[in-house]
Amino acid sequence: MIDLKDFEYDELIEYLQSIGEKKFRAEQIFSWLHKGAESYGEMTNLSKITREKLEKDTYVSTLKIREKYVSRIDGTVKYLFELPDGNCIESVVMRYHHGLTICISSQVGCRMGCRFCASTIGGLYRSLTAGEILNQVIFAQKDIGERISNIVMMGIGEPLDNFENVVKFLHNVNHEKGLNIGYRHISLSTCGVVPMIYKLAEEKIPITLTISLHAPNDAIRDSIMPVNHKYKIAELLEACREYAGITGRRISFEYSLIHGVNDSMENAKELANLVRDLHSHINLIPVNKVEERNFEKGSGKEIKAFQEKLTSLGINATVRRELGSDISASCGQLRKKVLK
Ligand code: SAH
């Protein structure tokens, strides 16, 4: 059975023509699917014959809300979604002054092995299809009843380890007949799968690329991020330069501050020198404690000192505000709890 949300718009037209339907049906169906229709029966402008034809080989995929938490502090909404095969993924909707931002997952689990990360415990189960990635946006928006205007691909999984489906998803979510979310309102975060950064640059999709850097040198990065054994920082930054050159978009870096590992003043200096020529922005994230890991964050004062050091060296750095702290909104934690 085919999930029509796995087709790009042009592929949907082709498919419909192949079953003897007119081209204009694509617009109707695409729009229904992206509005969150849960069956062909809801698509009232399709004839009964068309619906029956579709039901023969295709289905309307949905996501079940298995658990939902709303933060009393800031209104952040966290979903544990259940996929049709029973696997669970997490998505988080955050309220910012510029609108609702959703953080979505790209895989069930992850095989990148970052030492501080909850999502990688247990490894990769499978990648999400393009439709499953999109469904998180569709069904969160439907549940909340307000437009989601921004997307960050910073949930469970490594998006560049699921390249084809992620690109398909990006095309679809941006499509004017669908949710129509602008590329400039989308960011994709990667731990640094270098060849795929070049491949993404070739796609010329002007989203924001965010790099999970987390270390100012290879020795530290090797010790916390296995991907660094394969692609060293210098290669990663070269790919970033290329990406910025081709897309004209600034690169963003994430740097999780882990006490005693990467948060000394010397580390700040090293980091500043590393990214100086990239005109980037650095997002500092006080590391979130994960039960199975013994990483701790520094004090508020130490975190502020790190940021100020970077700023004094001419590097644009902000500390990420923690949202949804009362509902363990950081990804990977809820799925892990349910798996147990
Ligand atoms: N695989 C992608 C997408 C995950 S994004 C990537 O690595 O970028 C989630 C972000 O949160 C990444 O920057 C990740 O390194 C970071 N992260 C994971 N676990 C964390 C933790 N316990 N504390 C702080 N940041 C963490």
- Per-residue pLDDT band at 321 (split at 50, 70, 90): confident
Structural tokens at position 175: 């499509």
Please report the DSSP string for 112-148 in residue order. S--TT-STTTT-EEEEPPHHHHHHHHHHHHHHHTS-E
Size (the chain), residues: 340
pTM of the predicted model, to two decimals? 0.96
Model confidence pLDDT, tens digit, residues 97-131: 999 999 999 999 999 999 999 999 999 999 999 99
pLDDT of residue 340: 58
Helix runs in the chain, H state only? 9-18, 24-35, 48-57, 130-144, 163-174, 194-203, 218-224, 227-230, 233-247, 265-275, 300-312, 333-339
Ligand 1, CB cutoff 6 Å, lining residues: 112, 114, 116-117, 154, 158, 189-191, 212, 254, 256, 285, 287-288, 290
Nearest to 294 by CA among 224, 219, 217, 192: 224
Q: What is the mean pLDDT of residues 203-218?
A: 97
Atom of ligand 1 nearest to the CA of 154: 5
Give the residue, by CA position, lying nearest to ligand 1 atom 9.
154
Give the relative orientation of helices 265-275 and 233-247 as an angle to the nearest 10 degrees: 40
| Ligand 1 center–CA 131 separation, angstroms | 23
Catalytic residues: 90, 331
- The SS3 call for residue 188 is strand
pLDDT of residue 320: 86
DSSP state of 149: E
| Ligand 1 center–CA 254 separation, angstroms | 8
